[in-house]
Structure 1
Amino acid sequence: MSDIEDDQFHRKTVKITILGEPFTGKSSLCQRYLSNSPRAPGGTTHGAEVLAGQCLGLRPPVPLHLCDVAGNSLSTGMLRNYLYASDLVLFVYDLTNLQSFEKLNVWIEKVKEIFEQEPKKPLMALFGNKSDLEHQRAVRFSCVKKFASKYLLEHFKGSARTGEMVNYAFTNLIARVLGLPVQSSPVAIPSKSENELELPNSPAQTDGVSTSPLIMNRKTLRKIQRKASSSVCSVQ
């Protein structure tokens, strides 16, 4: 490919359609990515809003159209129009709202149905929003991995409010659409939360307290950790 052809290839306008349930932060995610600033609170999207911008993480910058689709569009006949010519479909869910995650299979099946007869299929991916509210997390990481594996989807988690992982996710997905090398993750592999610790299958007793995965809580975990720490530091 010549330099001129390479430049034209990079400058292809990429259309990204953002889907998901209401109040998952889709508009905030678009605002954060395009302007690197959080969206002012309040307001909902009606129909769909198309925003123009650039992916500055690639050189030369790649022109973008972001189609921010309202959460109630699943039940309307307009979804097909909003998805037209999409290169990338990003499904957004709220990490603190289990229902927003559970409804994703309906969204994905609908999108697959719409593109079933189309020769060109869009790249599809997941984004778990509101990672800044990790203490309120309702969607287990293991469930996300299983779901993403079922549909062969890339998956990310981050925060439109703080900007965590937003640029990285968009840049990598756009690079995949264009067939360019993707960046390695700038962060370590997500560690399991306290609620996702792999504990023995059979209940055990630690200092008189059951460590069964069904009833173990944070207070018990801290107690176990203090005991382990004191054991290491004790004089033999």
Structure 2
Amino acid sequence: MNKEKLRIVSSCQIAKDTVEMVLENDYISKHATPGQFVHLTVDGHTLRRPISIADINREQQTITILFKIIGSGTKRLAAYQVGEYVDALGPSGNGFQLENHSGATILLVGGGIGVPPLYNLGKALAAKGINIISVLGFQTGDYVFYEGKFKALGQTIIVTNDGSYGEKGFVTDVLDDLDFDRYYTCGPVPMLQAITTKLKGKDGYISLEERMGCGVGACFACVIPVNDGNGYKKICKDGPVFHAEEVAL
């Protein structure tokens, strides 16, 4: 993990309160893997913002991040202009496991801003010829993004809480009829709890969204207990990806 300067190549709103930003940096674009994040400094704010990497283009030396405008920090980040630079630590954390998928069908389940890292993962798996099924949950149709990108990877089901777009309900409501070998999921903790409960016994991995302090494992601000009762894991350093049965949500 390095401290890097990333130049903003593009920035635009792609759904309600949701910004897509493309950042240019040789080191991070070269070394980042699906599931990792960048820890960004935002002007006027003490703590960095952890934002997952939604896409990597090694040829153009860029990464893509998506974030939701939910407070003063992300509002300020959204105001940055093309050509400006953002200070970041990265690539940070441990990402998704990509090996041992030969002939497998992989289920991706994302909720809200937990969707972006699954796109990066899905692209990497699809490039290996792996069958992808994606279930993406959003509050309403106004928040839906990347539907076309996921459909290019395989079967994609959109679910909204109010039924204003796609299926009505929660992501767990559409899982019963899906046949898959392993699942990967990212989203708010209540969603992860519901999914791991419903899919108990299935091989799966979760990626946790969490506010962080230092982002390098020194401050213990983002710990989670492990299921064997033997202490804690640091989400920023040991995660954000864990086996579904490794940690206690």
TM-score, with length taken from structure 1? 0.32
Max radius of gyration: which structure?
1
> Higher helix share goes to which structure?
1
Between Structure 1 and Structure 2, the one with more strand by share is 2
